[in-house]
Amino acid sequence: MTKTHKLAFALLVVPFILFIPLVARWFLSPNLAVVYAESNARYFNNELPTTTVLDWNEHEDGTVASTQFDGERFHLSFNRAYANEIQIEDVKHEMCHIATWDEVEDHGPRWQECMARAK
Ligand SMILES: [Zn+2]
C-alpha cells in the first residue's frame, strides 16, 4: 500500500465500518409511527389520538417505554437501548395508558381490561 492508499483507506473505509452498527440499528428499529398506526387500527378501533408524538429516547435506563401527556398531546417514548427487543405487548401497554389516561391508578382495573381487550 502506498501512502495515498493508506490515507484513502483511513478516510473512506474506516468511517464506513464504524458507521455499519448505526445503520443496522436504524434499519432494525421498528418504525414507531407505523407500529402505532397499525396497533391503533388493530387493537383500539382507531380511537386513540393520531396526534401522539412518538420517539426514541436514550436516557431512561431499565424502562422500555413511557407515556406522558403535556396537556395537548401524548408523548410515547421508547428506550433506544431496547430497540431490537420491543414487543407488541410493550406497545399495547403504553397505548392502554393513553386509552385509560384519566384512571388514577397506574395499572388499574380499566387499564387491565384494556390490555385484556387488545388481543
Ligand atoms: Zn405501565
- We report the CATH number of the domain holding residue 105 as 3.30.2010.10
Asked if residue 24 and residue 36 are part of one domain, the reply reads no
Which pLDDT belongs to residue 27? 62
Asked if residue 77 and residue 40 are part of one domain, the reply reads yes
Asked if residue 51 and residue 105 are part of one domain, the reply reads yes
- pTM across the whole model: 0.76
Per the CB < 8 A criterion, the answer to whether 67 and 97 are in contact is yes
Lowest mean pLDDT among 19-28, 65-74, 95-104: 19-28
Asked if residue 58 and residue 15 are part of one domain, the reply reads no
d(CA 5, CA 9): 6
- Bridge partners of 78, per DSSP, are 56, 65
Ligand 1 centroid–CA 28 distance in Å is 25
Q: Which helix (H) or strand (E) holds 90?
A: helix 88-99
Ligand 1 centroid–CA 87 distance in Å is 14
pLDDT in tens, 10-51: 888 877 787 776 666 666 677 889 999 999 999 999 999 999
Ligand 1 centroid–CA 52 distance in Å is 17
Cell reading at 113: 381490561
Asked if residue 83 and residue 63 are part of one domain, the reply reads yes
CA distances from 108 to 44, 62, 87, 100, 101 (A): 18, 22, 22, 9, 11
For 13, the domain range is 1-29
Ligand 1 centroid–CA 11 distance in Å is 46
Ligand 1 centroid–CA 57 distance in Å is 17
